[in-house]
Structure 1
Amino acid sequence: MEYIVIIVILFITMLMYFKIADKYNIIDKPNHRSAHTQITLRGGGVIFPIAFIIFGFFNFNLMINEYWSFGLGILAICTISFIDDIRTLSNKIRLFVHLISVILLLYFTGAFTLMPFWIWPILFILIVGTLNAYNFMDGINGMTGIYSFVALGSLAYINKEVVQFTDIDFIYYPMLACLVFLFFNFRKKAKCFAGDVGSMGIGFWIIGLVTLLIMRTGEYKFILLLAIYGMEVVLTIIERIILKENIFEAHRRHLYQLFANEKKASHLVISSVYAIVQLLINVFLIHSNYSIWAVIAMVFIPLGCVYLVLKLSLKKKYNL
């Protein structure tokens, strides 16, 4: 019954946000990087920090004793991202807030205690990089919501069947938020887009859960719960470096963008395929006893080959 109440609250919150976004013209206008052609409400991803606030309200003691640092981190990064959705901010300001949020996240997961100090800069780079990967991959209808739901569902299964590493509601609440968001976004003509507040918000939450899981188990293989996003972004960056392009400028070189923009494939089909492939990886990952390097080899070599073949064929076909 509690979860039904949460869904209703989140649903009503989204409808209220739509009225605010429409009144204040918080919209996403298509540009040369966009995979959509219509003006759409932006910032629907506010549902994720709101879901955390609701979680804190229903789990007040947990919030005060265990989750306060994570809460400050996600609210800080979502606030700065939402402001950036409305008006462009300086990269220095955004990076500063991101670093503060990551510090709070690492404190929450116990990384500063469990890991030697020389590892801390590496963790900063990995987390900030993964956050930006989440942002880069938020480009077509359904992608962020369904991919995040798969990641969270896998984490919920691990928490229940493999090792309990957090309170289950801390996973269920963002899952419910994903379902509500997908109701409005997983459509041919989306009612809203996540915006930076959404991709950064849910990305931060999932990265926090994955980091917490790794710190509790010492199993670094769980970083592969986000393998598809990682592979896509890394290979695309390598491609742009080879082509001597500015990797910080907007582009349309991701494989999902080529399928959506050049091949005109359905956004919903593309998003579903990405999520299904990640789900298959997660099932293998959870039930395998191989070392992390063996898992990386078994996952990335075949997937990397498929990725390169698909991308080269699309570029050749469309003279890109």
Structure 2
Amino acid sequence: MATVTLTSSPLSGHLLRRRRGRLCTKHHIQTQHRLPRAWRLYCAPEGGGGEVSAPPAPSAAEDQAPQEQPHDFYLLATNRSDFNDIIMVIDSPAARYLVLDHNKNVHSILPKTTVWTNSYWDEFVSLPAVVPRGPVALLGLGAGTAAHLMLKFWPWLQLVGWEIDPMIVELSRDYFGVSDLEKATESGGSLSVHIGDALSPSATVEGGFAGIVVDLFCDGKIIPQLQEAATWLEIAQKLMPGGRIMVNCGGADVEESLASSWVQNPTVKALCSAFPGQLNWKRLSEQESVNYVTLTGPLPDLDEWSASVPSELSTKVKQWVPCELA
């Protein structure tokens, strides 16, 4: 799993302002992403969002540089909920981040200077090209990173997202533009947001989904239910004929080198058991968070798939291979 623990100046230790709330077991959350290791966290200026104060004045040396440095991060909002005792919205010149849990991992990203995240979220954009036309589920919506990307390139999509934490949904609308995704595009696509358990039997639609994207984590680890073949068979029942599931499986269960076998990932093993001969996988590069992603169903024709996705993904989809237990 690509995990980066946020460490900042002593200022950040005084930033958390929490609402009262009962702390419950957390589940069904997004996963982490890599941030630069050298960074400084400031409170946002007045009007920047959230109950935060202005950043410290720059030194004489800093005053000669641009006001916003690439590794300067600004805290826009902090909160807690029944599902997450640490919730932060952090801004930078390049992107905005949703940070959760005690390890302070990034669970959603909204890029500013590019469309792409250079991480596993980008892979989800290739799913509509290999499934029937129909609604696509996002199990683990977070702050809407996947939804932004998919509607950008497939504006006719009917996305249906599930997020268990109402506070994250509120922040996603206020800070990550999810409220705009809930409005119909010119092509008729939109995002429908549901607050609740993504694995509930009620998380379905009449006629089934054309595709299901699964991205469910807790405390930096994929939730235990997804390490059981029975869970995947239940999810597959929500598909229409010809539908597929694409999954962010995280990293290996133990420390490993890039040459190590995917079989160390318990979620991939569970999927392979649930869909023998009908599972494909790829591993993202170290620059892309070193996550495994999987796709159910027969391996698509890679040339046709490559020609039907955005050019930035045309080479990447050719990296998919069948997944078979040794």
TM-score normalised by structure 2 residue count? 0.24
Per chain length, whose mean CA-contact separation is higher, i.e. which structure has more relative contact order (CA < 8 Å, sep 6+)?
A: 1
TM-score normalised by structure 1 residue count? 0.25
- Which of the two has greater strand per residue? 2
- Which of the two has greater helix per residue? 1
